[in-house]
Structure 1
């Protein structure tokens, strides 16, 4: 009885290499075969498998694999794609917006959570780069969403903090609302962050009245989004002073002063110092150079602030167990009627630089908050209350 043949269509080296190159092509070029891979003039008559063929051939050259001219053919690629479907490497569905393999480094559930976060930052935080990535992934993953009956695209998690200024140059151009800010230089800025390059940027406005207008030489460390806006965390080149500034307050100017940069290790060291200051303080103001250096050395005397909050605000203050790393929440005596604390004392030790921002936070609670200490903060809060009362007593509204 003749032996059953164990050979298969990928038994020879050439066919095996072709299949491996195809898998590598789909891994390294997710979305290959999409009209977006083509020049705009060619999109109407694009052939997705021709794109796959071209990418595969280029990849073979980069790996030093010699392929015959015009190899592999389109019919051969079509057969190989069917093989990948048969073994579950490709899903058994249409890939109208390009081929990709599975979910890469993430499971389907992990990808869904990441996609939700991406969608939120693209929509509400106005991140132009993520907006474009989100649009591309939405098209690419449309087949998966249809397969899951719309569940994949449903926004289970959402971040609603919304940028209050224009952040996306493409959106500005489309709406005729160009603001000529540092948002136009994000590609240069992000490269400078990753390489530790020294750059020159120029502040166009200073609403705090500190006269800090004009060019500055800095090493950018990180882009930060907080509450309503994007900020740049940076280190002054001349003295190592760490600071944070709103992106829209800088002009559309970013000049790289050293291409080589100082590297990621130095970037991480400076970033760690900046986050030490952020965790110690309240808000984004990192202080002036002399005070900042003392604080980083652990030699700066902190000021203990104590604020008494009354119902119903006291309940919300009590909920904030992780508002600050060094806080203490002390419950007052229970109210005989409600059985709840008659007040809550919020105690936190802060560097002097943070008292103004801490005061702004306290002011939001109006008459339900009373500052107990330090004396300068008591007086500041008292004067603010008197000024607010004066606005209603003496100033007419026209």
Structure 2
């Protein structure tokens, strides 16, 4: 029979359970014990306050698991001793936890966490996501110890996404700058909750930049929040028509009412979200079409027209680089220039539903005189008319300057 080691500090059942309870507390309350720099507490009491908060959270953890502890147990010196034991065993690092206690990095390695923080930083800083900003600030405070150990390399932003939101998205920032927009970002948490719970909401739209006529109060099932190019958008389904749409978040007011009588399962939410993304992937841009267009397209009965655009140097290189611009496109090189050895033009060919022609045209217009639409005829006419109107405007301005 193995002799019991009486020198082991946790051979007693109560002491062992206390240690396990402390570990459970640190797992479920990452950052516990952090004293904010602007705290009114004196510096002499900061360490004591940190352990006191750990003690309070430990009692809450015990209560939630129906574990009865003696009054005032464990005492603060006992918890301090247990924390030191966790350091000795490598469960806690052998460093100061000035920004709160936590165990490891959860489901990620340090390298994985560093990459995830880069993405979170971009979303917080450039896409203006208030929730991401709060989480990033909290997590980076906790990780300051690791960053100091790595001489500032851990929190270095190796990767960033610089696409910046063109409108205000952070309610706290709006208030600080005196630029309150009273838009749906003020109720974004309610929208996210409705998405996860399959609840319909009533929201209010004041702007209709595309002439759809859908303004005023709308009853919808919100499906997802997405960031695209320069702004945040919401994907939703109209309750009355099952029409799927994608609209800019900041074009809605801060009115959001949950319609408790209208709800559905998360599986139905996910199915309709997949339908929305299927339509988006078939087309070009974010316009998903009208109700009947969507029904026909999702049923596989839509007619996709072949669109062909001829691009000329110097933009040909940029077109050829976009090998994954769309899942169904073809890039065909023209004849070679005898002097440069490069294609004299590149044809970009893709099949699109007619609902996407307007957004596709906007992409072509970016390349000005280096692009020529070859098919279909209706798009050729649109491009030609736009070029003629632009020329006429320049000629008019030239004449005005000559007479002034």
Please give the range of the TM-score, normalised by the shorter of the 2 chains.
over 0.9
Q: Which position in structure 1 is the counterpart of 2:362?
A: 360
Tell me the secondary structure at the aligned position of residue 364 of structure 2. Answer: helix
RMSD: 1.8
Aligned with 2:178 (options 176, 179, 196) = 176
TM-score by length of 1: 0.96
| Cα distance in 2 for residues equivalent to 1:160 and 1:351 | 31
| Cα distance in 2 for residues equivalent to 1:355 and 1:189 | 31
Across the two proteins, how many residue pairs are aligned to each other? 395
Do the aligned partners of 1:35 and 1:43 also contact (CA within 8 Å) in 2? no
| Structure 1 residue 213: Cα displacement | 1.4
Can you list the C-alpha shifts for 1:122-145, whole angstroms capped at 9, x where unaligned? Answer: 000000011111111121111110
Matches within 5 A, 1:135-214: 135-214=137-216
Can you list the C-alpha shifts for 1:208-254, whole angstroms capped at 9, x where unaligned? Answer: 23332100000000000011100000011112110000000001111
Q: Which position in structure 1 is the counterpart of 2:346?
A: 344
Matches within 5 A, 1:367-382: 367-382=369-384
| Structure 1 residue 6: Cα displacement | 6.1
Do the aligned partners of 1:303 and 1:351 also contact (CA within 8 Å) in 2? yes
Q: Which position in structure 1 is the counterpart of 2:28?
A: 28
- 2:8 equivalent to 1:8: yes
| Cα distance in 2 for residues equivalent to 1:172 and 1:138 | 23
Matches within 5 A, 1:52-91: 52-91=54-93
Aligned with 2:260 (options 258, 261, 265) = 258
Matches within 5 A, 1:292-311: 292-311=294-313
Do the aligned partners of 1:195 and 1:260 also contact (CA within 8 Å) in 2? no
Do the aligned partners of 1:122 and 1:134 also contact (CA within 8 Å) in 2? yes
| Cα distance in 1 for residues equivalent to 2:134 and 2:78 | 34
| Cα distance in 2 for residues equivalent to 1:209 and 1:352 | 17
Do the aligned partners of 2:200 and 2:262 also contact (CA within 8 Å) in 1? no
Q: Rate the CA distance shift 1:4–1:137 in 2: closer, same or farther, 3 A.
A: closer
| Cα distance in 2 for residues equivalent to 1:337 and 1:148 | 53
Tell me the secondary structure at the aligned position of residue 171 of structure 1. Answer: helix
Can you list the C-alpha shifts for 1:37-90, whole angstroms capped at 9, x where unaligned? Answer: x99766985500000000001110111111101011110011100111111111
Q: Which position in structure 2 is the counterpart of 1:283?
A: 285
| Cα distance in 1 for residues equivalent to 2:147 and 2:382 | 55
Do the aligned partners of 2:5 and 2:11 also contact (CA within 8 Å) in 1? no
Do the aligned partners of 1:242 and 1:286 also contact (CA within 8 Å) in 2? yes
Matches within 5 A, 1:225-236: 225-236=227-238
| Cα distance in 2 for residues equivalent to 1:302 and 1:235 | 24
Can you list the C-alpha shifts for 1:366-389, whole angstroms capped at 9, x where unaligned? Answer: 011000000000000001111111
| Cα distance in 2 for residues equivalent to 1:62 and 1:154 | 39
| Cα distance in 1 for residues equivalent to 2:286 and 2:7 | 67
| Cα distance in 1 for residues equivalent to 2:4 and 2:204 | 76
| Cα distance in 2 for residues equivalent to 1:307 and 1:170 | 45
Runs of 5+ consecutive residues of structure 1 not aligned to the other structure: none
Runs of 5+ consecutive residues of structure 2 not aligned to the other structure: none
